[in-house]
Structure 1
Amino acid sequence: MPAIDLPAAEPPLYQLIQPRSAQVLGPAWARSFPEHSEVVGYSSLGHVFMRKPASREYLVLHPLKGAAKSYGSYRSLAAFERGVLQDPGFAAFVLRPDHVRVVARRLGPLAEESVYIPTPYPFLGGSDAPDSYEQGNVWVFVQTVARLSGL
């Protein structure tokens, strides 16, 4: 597939959303993190940002790794964004701007509620190479990963 000319602006690395019930992730993920009952965003590569309403503790779900990491409590979603999502180390390791840039150049901007997804999934033998990505709905993606990984 030929590269798509993108506007000069960088592709977004994440999307923050109005908090939604973690049920949108499907029952397996909601059961895995019952106290983190709100979803507040997702990365362009399919990581999901979850929040525990009572303590405002945030975690990042890494669906393809079947893991999550807590990043502590923040007073607001904006504070979480400044403290975690905009941290250069977090960006380099999780959000991967250079990788997203290459994938976006090939596939174009993300549609609403879409993420870039490696196919086949790496845990099923696929690679993480930029040319292996497709666009797909974030909610379908995380639910499919849960089913395929046996959660």
Structure 2
Amino acid sequence: MDKSSGRLFKIQPVLDYFLIKFRTVYKPKQQLTLDEGVIPWRGRLRFRTYNPAKIVKYGLLVRMVCESDTGYTCNMEIYTGEGKKLEETIYSVLAPNLGLWHHVYQDNYYNSTSIANLFLEHEKRVCGTIRVNRGLPPSLKFQQ
């Protein structure tokens, strides 16, 4: 997609600047986390998210890769509601750290067997809980 036509086109140069600085100033250790965060926002915005179960109910959803020890943000992507698949989002957020045998810790929202296979192909290890409906391997299924 052309950056001049995306929903973040007004802030894209600033966001790109910070992302380059995140990657060049500090090299993360081996343990990484993949999770989401919310930037509070009550104004009108097309891609503002709403989650009634959270303290911050309205805001911008940001998917981030952070170092486990320090919490340093290595990379992030703001969800804009433009129809990007979850696997593509995970791959694009982790792309700068591929091939380095990092250990990625994630919750059950991001974890699936297809994601784990993708990580192993790109020299990453994954740890996290897995949902039964996301392609549980036969060796892990409970048998009665």
TM-score (norm 1): 0.23
Which one has more relative contact order, counting CA pairs under 8 Å at least 6 apart? 1
Larger helix fraction of residues: 1
TM value normalised by structure 2: 0.24
Q: Which has the larger radius of gyration?
A: 2
